[in-house]
Amino acid sequence: MKSGVSIDDVLAEVALMVRPQFGKGRPADYIPQLAGVDPNKFGMAVCTVSGGEHVIGDADEPFSAQSITKLFALGLALNQIGDEVWTRVGKEPSGTPFNFLSQLEYEHGVPRNPFINAGALAITDILLDTVKAPELLVRDFIGMLSGSQLEIDEAVAQSEIDTAHKNRAIANLMRGAGTITHEVEAVIAAYCRQCAITISCRQLARAALPLAADGFSPIAEETIFPSRLTRRLNALLLTCGTYDSVGSFAYRVGLPAKSGVGGGILAVVPGQATIAVWSPELDRFGSSVVGTAALEYFAQLTNCSVL
Amino acid sequence: MKSGVSIDDVLAEVALMVRPQFGKGRPADYIPQLAGVDPNKFGMAVCTVSGGEHVIGDADEPFSAQSITKLFALGLALNQIGDEVWTRVGKEPSGTPFNFLSQLEYEHGVPRNPFINAGALAITDILLDTVKAPELLVRDFIGMLSGSQLEIDEAVAQSEIDTAHKNRAIANLMRGAGTITHEVEAVIAAYCRQCAITISCRQLARAALPLAADGFSPIAEETIFPSRLTRRLNALLLTCGTYDSVGSFAYRVGLPAKSGVGGGILAVVPGQATIAVWSPELDRFGSSVVGTAALEYFAQLTNCSVL
Amino acid sequence: MKSGVSIDDVLAEVALMVRPQFGKGRPADYIPQLAGVDPNKFGMAVCTVSGGEHVIGDADEPFSAQSITKLFALGLALNQIGDEVWTRVGKEPSGTPFNFLSQLEYEHGVPRNPFINAGALAITDILLDTVKAPELLVRDFIGMLSGSQLEIDEAVAQSEIDTAHKNRAIANLMRGAGTITHEVEAVIAAYCRQCAITISCRQLARAALPLAADGFSPIAEETIFPSRLTRRLNALLLTCGTYDSVGSFAYRVGLPAKSGVGGGILAVVPGQATIAVWSPELDRFGSSVVGTAALEYFAQLTNCSVL
Amino acid sequence: MKSGVSIDDVLAEVALMVRPQFGKGRPADYIPQLAGVDPNKFGMAVCTVSGGEHVIGDADEPFSAQSITKLFALGLALNQIGDEVWTRVGKEPSGTPFNFLSQLEYEHGVPRNPFINAGALAITDILLDTVKAPELLVRDFIGMLSGSQLEIDEAVAQSEIDTAHKNRAIANLMRGAGTITHEVEAVIAAYCRQCAITISCRQLARAALPLAADGFSPIAEETIFPSRLTRRLNALLLTCGTYDSVGSFAYRVGLPAKSGVGGGILAVVPGQATIAVWSPELDRFGSSVVGTAALEYFAQLTNCSVL
């Protein structure tokens, strides 16, 4: 980032700049719990590797983390079994929507990357090899990294489980192909419950600090990921983190990032800071409209793009 | 890059490290002119924004630039008609091989990005709106940026034109869809001739310097791209520059890059340097095996990944 | 058929002619119960509309009816809700394997025809609207038409249910699209149990007689299908009855037919006769190798092709 | 057909019954020559194997034969090289529109059947092995079978050639795959000119008589196709003759048939008669709306369905 920039001033300016973006997207509506969230919410938090913490708006209000949890689940799986993860899932952008199924049929049940639903289900399956409730492992891992106790929203979780037909189709296809080995319902339940973890922008920016700090968590006061793995996670975020709009996102924002249909986006400025933003209205790819704009403006004002 | 590192020492070490990679790939064999190149060639050049120039091996031997020229053609088109380019071509990774056609049929003839063949043909079509021989425009643009006079290898060009059945299929499909407006044969000829431009690693690294220097070319002594466009070109390289192995490439190397089936790869360290590497043997995605390894080792040794 | 031909003589000749075909295919191996059937079995039965019954070989040995049951389930559904069936399933050949899934994703969960797995699951779902155990309805319907009591092989049924991952994927996709409305597990169980009905060639040829006799069953002594529906069922068999080899099958045999992975094939000579043949070894499309050859020779010798 | 039925009476009744179908489709509009045809035209001709000839309406007015010519071109190719044809083209329904291209990319450039554009281009390529102008061969073959001199509409031919972008894409893809061996432009020109042959219903019904008469042409007074090949051509018509509505067509009409975007449909009642109908308005699959209805009513009234 440009030296001499006041992050608080930048956040205040960004909050003004994004105003015209409200009303352009639509909150996730596939379950009532997400459809009912106030669309005008907006929060943003920046944590620097040097310990700074800057927030604006609804930065302390918990929202549904959804797909952002996939990043942490992947981190756990890589810490557990290392590169063996890549025998079960690829690391290429899919070029297709996050819940696309046909690619799996053509490619022998191996998902393109760990951030589309199919890939995240494969990661859940890996975690199920060692624990009974991977969603609690993920919840407590993010909690530990954020210095707080996180919750799973049981109403959201149940609603996701009840309507997860497409994910069940995906999981059954992978079960038939052998890339999922546990009972489909166990995988689906753990996955849906993991998606239902709630978190605030401040907690999320804190939890992601290892990705900006070469693998070290200043909150947990320990090294979470080896340096090389940290870069690789950032590479995966940049090429696969925002579904089938990953090219446009890199073009506009230029930072590794992971979005979720709860309206949250997590972005990383390697070596410097993490940024978490939340606003519920989504574009047609499933990323927050206001959140993407906020990150774009932030990157412009601070000159923090990696590119 | 790590301060205090000697780039010459790094290049010497990289040249040793890549030795076991020879023989693992295969030179492009679709035309005799490429199949006949000595597979043991290896050259590498690094140009820094501060004016440094470091080379090793066959860094001054011209090779067939092929798809690497697509980057410069895109730059010209963006300078000419700006964001209108994005009405004719997308900016998302395709998830499919560089000469894939079916995606075009499903998506109304709009190519996913300007670096797959379909997208590059659309860019050629745009350039044909203003000049009769876009390949000469591209050749002279790269030449000006590299401070040298570049040539088109007429034998390569003719051979490409003679065997361009798949590209003709793509171009005719786009002509039918209206995303190509000029005569198919004119587009094919200009495109094939552009791909047949020859260049050395040193020339290529020089030519790309604007991408590392916020749009300024120290060779041409002028600003070539606006600052924002420079970042965006780097973003496109990172998410779309190495065909359907873009995720793995970012995972291994972590730099914006463009590869060509002539065995060349161009990489950018924004704010610092450009790197050009050449070795003819290709992986199954069409990128140089030794070249990719060389960039991976270089990035490790100098700590220059953007991620 | 040619007048003056002795069907018994023809069957004897066909049994000789097919001998070289044994060993060219492979029995279904996805469940142990089918893999274990003696591959040298061969039975054939012809029932004429005038009451004749001609058999050869293992024509009275029960085998797993599998997909052949789909024809009778469709007949029941059409009798129940008429053309409303065609709002839930198409009537076009799929051009793809019987358990293909991607087509469903592209076409909003509407299966191409009632004889691919997806379409048969939709028919099961329709039958579930009115009965709890559609497989028993289908079993008793075929039984009534064949004048015998048929059984469901419970070991086959259970094995199918245990391994029906792909069908579960298909059913969940359709559940999400709304083309399946009942619980996926209920649909899968009924479908798998229906496929596990066992039947002999003689019983099958008897049961199909309404398709040759303008809708009338001489066994049940009642009109089962209206005349027009009878023709339409035959049309569906001819264009969709033998999976993605329907063109080759019509080219070789020229009769409406339905095959099953148990090795049975049912063919209809409208106005004249039905033919059931059984031999377990399958071609790569899932139809009996020896059975197809037997029908081809029978059609040649009797000149009974509809074309 | 029902004995005792007067075909003239049936044709008169059919002409009344189809009246409500006018205005439901749209004439082909991709070239002005087809778009300009009077949409209210309707002609129908029936030729029986016993020498009868029955017509109604505009049965003697020439129209653009278009894809109906593919049947005769296939017949010529099969007579020339026999089953070798099937090494260059399949015999399965495609499940996709007549000008679909992606299937070719997935299946190594081998078209699904000789009646989709890709398959017809392959047949043209086969004919080019022995003659310079296959379209004249096809024209004279149909002419000979119909007892008349047929013409190629040069304005239609030129317009087709000028706009054949999709067919050029298809042909170039096949050229790259080796399933087309002659110059693409030569294949395209011959194919487009063949499609531009004009013919009347009466001429068309006469020309097709060998398909109803076991291969014998009463007009040419010679055997045109061997008996077995005749059946096989009818099988191909039934499973592949009406594009991706082949299932619905068989369901409604139950006769082997070939349609063309000029509004003509040719149908065969094996052993009995041929029927040609023409009316320009097309359904979304490219078959005449009024023509299909006319054939459906004719088949009902005469009970001539093969099923």
Contacts of D98 in chain C (CB under 8 A): none
Helix (H, G, I), strand (E, B) or coil at A224: coil
Neighbours of chain D (3+ CB pairs under 8 A): B, C
Per-residue pLDDT tens over the stretch A167-177:
999 999 999 99
Q: Which of C10, C49, C70, C159 is catalytic?
A: C70
Please state which of the ranges A260-269, B24-33, C195-204 shows the lowest mean pLDDT: B24-33
Residue A95 has pLDDT above 90, yes or no: no
CB contact (8 A) between residue C248 and residue D95? no
Token couple for D96: 């996709």
| Mean per-residue pLDDT over chain D, rounded | 95
Identify which of C185, C182, C193, C195 has the alpha carbon closest to the alpha carbon of residue C122.
C182
CB atoms within 10 A of CB C3: 5
Q: Which of D94, D191, D258, D297 is catalytic?
A: D191
Helix (H, G, I), strand (E, B) or coil at B77: helix
The rounded distance, in Å, linking the Cα atoms of D285 and D259 is: 10
Residue D99 has pLDDT above 80, yes or no: no
**Predicted confidence band of residue D101 (pLDDT cuts 50, 70, 90):** confident
Pair B247, A93: CB distance under 8 Å: yes
* pTM confidence score: 0.93
Q: Which residues of C lie closer than 8 Å to D, measured between beta carbons?
A: 90-96, 103, 112-113, 231-232, 234-236, 238-240, 244-248, 250-251, 254, 256, 270, 305-307
Chains B, D: CB pairs < 8 Å = 51
Q: Which residues of A lie closer than 8 Å to B, measured between beta carbons?
A: 90-96, 103, 112-113, 231-232, 234-236, 238-240, 244-248, 250-251, 254, 256, 270, 305-307
Pair A137, A131: CB distance under 8 Å: yes
Contacts of D113 in chain C (CB under 8 A): 247
Q: What is residue A288's DSSP assignment?
A: B
Nearest CA in chain D to B175: D165
* Residue B98, pLDDT score: 62
Q: Which of A10, A37, A55, A67 is catalytic?
A: A67
The rounded distance, in Å, linking the Cα atoms of D188 and B169 is: 13
What length is written for chain B?
Answer: 307
The rounded distance, in Å, linking the Cα atoms of A276 and A208 is: 9
CB contact (8 A) between residue C95 and residue D92? yes
Strands, E, within A126-251: which ranges? 151-152, 197-199, 216-217, 222-223
* Residue A249, pLDDT score: 96
Provide the shortest C-alpha distance from residue D137 to chain C (in Å).
Answer: 26
**Predicted confidence band of residue D223 (pLDDT cuts 50, 70, 90):** very high
CB contact (8 A) between residue A101 and residue C173? yes
Token couple for B247: 């995720």
The rounded distance, in Å, linking the Cα atoms of B74 and B208 is: 13
Q: Which of A159, A243, A269, A287 is catalytic?
A: A243
Contacts (Cβ under 8 Å, ≥6 apart) of C25: C281, C282, C283, C288, C289, C290
Contacts of A247 in chain B (CB under 8 A): 90-93, 113, 235-236, 239-240
What is the CB-side half-sphere exposure of residue B52 using CA atoms within 13 A? 14
Provide the shortest C-alpha distance from residue C12 to chain A (in Å).
Answer: 43
Per DSSP, helices labelled H in chain B are 7-17, 32-35, 69-81, 102-106, 117-128, 134-146, 154-163, 165-177, 184-195, 201-207, 209-212, 227-240, 246-252, 289-302
Better-predicted residue by pLDDT, B100 or A66? A66
CB contact (8 A) between residue D251 and residue C270? no
Contacts of A171 in chain C (CB under 8 A): 169
φ and ψ at residue D149, rounded to 5 degrees: -95, 120
Q: Which residues of B lie closer than 8 Å to A, measured between beta carbons?
A: 90-96, 103, 112-113, 231-232, 234-236, 238-240, 244-248, 250-251, 254, 256, 270, 305-307
Percent of chain D residues topping a pLDDT of 90: 92
Contacts of B251 in chain A (CB under 8 A): 91, 232, 235-236, 239
Residue D98 has pLDDT above 70, yes or no: no
C167 annotated to bind ligand: yes
Instruction: Considering only the beta carbons, identify the residue of B100, B106, B169 that sits closest to D169.
Output: B169
What is the strand order of the sheet C264-269 is part of?
A: C53-57, C43-48, C273-278, C264-269, C257-259
Bridge-based pairing of strands B43-48 and B273-278 is antiparallel
Pair B86, A252: CB distance under 8 Å: no
Binding residues of B for substrate: 67, 117, 160, 167, 191, 243, 261
Helix (H, G, I), strand (E, B) or coil at A50: coil
Complex confidence, ipTM: 0.94
Provide the shortest C-alpha distance from residue B102 to chain A (in Å).
Answer: 13
Q: What is the CATH number of domain B7-66+197-302?
A: 3.40.710.10
Pair C298, C2: CB distance under 8 Å: no
Contacts (Cβ under 8 Å, ≥6 apart) of D94: C95, D100, D103, D112, D113, D116, D240, D244
Nearest CA in chain C to A166: C173
Examine the residue annotation and report whether A30 is marked as an active-site residue of this protein: no
Q: Is B182 left (phi over 0), alpha (psi -120 to 50) or beta?
A: beta
Q: What is the CATH number of domain C67-195?
A: 3.40.710.10
Helix (H, G, I), strand (E, B) or coil at C259: strand
H or E element in which residue D195 lies: helix D184-195
Bridge-based pairing of strands C197-199 and C222-223 is unpaired
Name the architecture of domain B68-195.
3-Layer(aba) Sandwich (3.40)
> Measured in Å, how far apart are chain A's first and last C-alpha atoms?
12
Contacts of C101 in chain A (CB under 8 A): 101-102, 105, 169, 173
Instruction: Identify any residues that bridge with C222 across adjacent strands, giving them in sequence order.
Output: C217
Identify which of C174, C197, C162, C196 has the alpha carbon closest to the alpha carbon of residue C123.
C174
CA-based torsion, C173, C176, C181, C182: positive or negative: positive
Per-residue pLDDT tens over the stretch C33-48:
999 999 999 999 999 9
Q: What is the CA radius of gyration of chain B?
A: 18
Better-predicted residue by pLDDT, D267 or B1? D267
Per-residue pLDDT tens over the stretch B182-234:
999 999 999 999 999 999 999 999 999 999 999 999 999 999 999 999 999 99
Token couple for B117: 């063949």
Which amino acid is it at C58? D
Binding residues of B: 67, 117, 160, 167, 191, 243, 261
Contacts of C171 in chain A (CB under 8 A): 169
Examine the residue annotation and report whether A251 is marked as an active-site residue of this protein: no
Helix (H, G, I), strand (E, B) or coil at B266: strand
Neighbours of chain B (3+ CB pairs under 8 A): A, D
Contacts (Cβ under 8 Å, ≥6 apart) of B135: B152, B190, B191, B193, B194, B197
Token couple for A136: 């609690």
> Measured in Å, how far apart are chain B's first and last C-alpha atoms?
12
Please give the distance of CA C83 from its chain centroid, rounded to a whole number. 21
Instruction: Identify any residues that bridge with A268 across adjacent strands, giving them in sequence order.
Output: A274
The rounded distance, in Å, linking the Cα atoms of B62 and B66 is: 12
Token couple for B182: 């000029």
Bridge-based pairing of strands D197-199 and D151-152 is antiparallel
Instruction: Considering only the beta carbons, identify the residue of A93, A103, A231 that sits closest to B305.
Output: A231
CB contact (8 A) between residue A93 and residue B93? yes
- Superfamily grouping for domain C7-65+198-302: DD-peptidase/beta-lactamase superfamily (3.40.710.10)
Instruction: Identify any residues that bridge with A48 across adjacent strands, giving them in sequence order.
Output: A273
DSSP letter string, D261-295? TTSEEEEEETTTEEEEEE---B-TTSSBHHHHHHH
* Residue D243, pLDDT score: 83
Q: Which residues of D lie closer than 8 Å to B, measured between beta carbons?
A: 100-102, 105-106, 165-166, 168-173, 175-176, 184
Residues of B annotated as part of the active site: 67, 70, 191, 243, 261
Integer CA distances (angstroms), B307 to A91, A213, A229, B212, C11, in order: 16, 11, 11, 16, 74
Instruction: Considering only the beta carbons, identify the residue of A234, A236, A247 that sits closest to B113.
Output: A247
Identify which of D107, D122, D108 has the alpha carbon closest to the alpha carbon of residue D74.
D122
**Predicted confidence band of residue C12 (pLDDT cuts 50, 70, 90):** very high
> Measured in Å, how far apart are chain C's first and last C-alpha atoms?
12
DSSP letter string, C91-121? -S--SS-TT--HHHHHTTT--S-TTSHHHHH
Residue of A98, A99, A173 to mutate when probing chain C, most C C-beta within 10 A: A173
Quick one: average pLDDT of D277-291? 96
Say whether D67-195 and D7-64+197-302 share the same fold: yes
Q: Is C221 left (phi over 0), alpha (psi -120 to 50) or beta?
A: left
C160 annotated to bind ligand: yes
Residue C252 has pLDDT above 70, yes or no: yes
Provide the shortest C-alpha distance from residue D178 to chain B (in Å).
Answer: 10
Examine the residue annotation and report whether A70 is marked as an active-site residue of this protein: yes
Residue of C86, C87, C94, C239 to mutate when probing chain D, most D C-beta within 10 A: C239
Nearest CA in chain C to A104: C102
The rounded distance, in Å, linking the Cα atoms of A249 and A245 is: 6
* Residue B108, pLDDT score: 87
Which residues of chain B have a pLDDT value below 50? Answer: none
Percent of chain D residues topping a pLDDT of 70: 99
The rounded distance, in Å, linking the Cα atoms of A114 and A102 is: 16
Q: Which of A37, A55, A70, A289 is catalytic?
A: A70
Neighbours of chain C (3+ CB pairs under 8 A): A, D
**Predicted confidence band of residue A98 (pLDDT cuts 50, 70, 90):** low
Per-residue pLDDT tens over the stretch C89-148:
999 998 776 667 778 888 889 999 999 999 999 999 999 999 999 999 999 999 999 999
What length is written for chain C?
Answer: 307
Identify which of D253, D306, D260 has the alpha carbon closest to the alpha carbon of residue D283.
D260
H or E element in which residue D168 lies: helix D165-177
Q: What is residue B192's DSSP assignment?
A: H
H or E element in which residue A154 lies: helix A154-163
Contacts (Cβ under 8 Å, ≥6 apart) of C36: none
Q: Would you kindly state where each structural domain of chain A is located, as residue ranges?
A: 7-64+198-302, 67-195
* Residue C222, pLDDT score: 97
Pair A282, A261: CB distance under 8 Å: yes
Residue B19 burial by CB count (10 A; 0-12/13-18/19+): exposed, middle or buried?
exposed
- Superfamily grouping for domain A7-64+198-302: DD-peptidase/beta-lactamase superfamily (3.40.710.10)
Provide the shortest C-alpha distance from residue D300 to chain C (in Å).
Answer: 9
Q: Which of C49, C261, C269, C277 is catalytic?
A: C261
The rounded distance, in Å, linking the Cα atoms of B89 and C12 is: 66
Helix (H, G, I), strand (E, B) or coil at D53: strand
Question: What is the fold, at CATH topology level, of the domain defined by D7-64+197-302?
Answer: Beta-lactamase (3.40.710)
Pair B255, B268: CB distance under 8 Å: yes
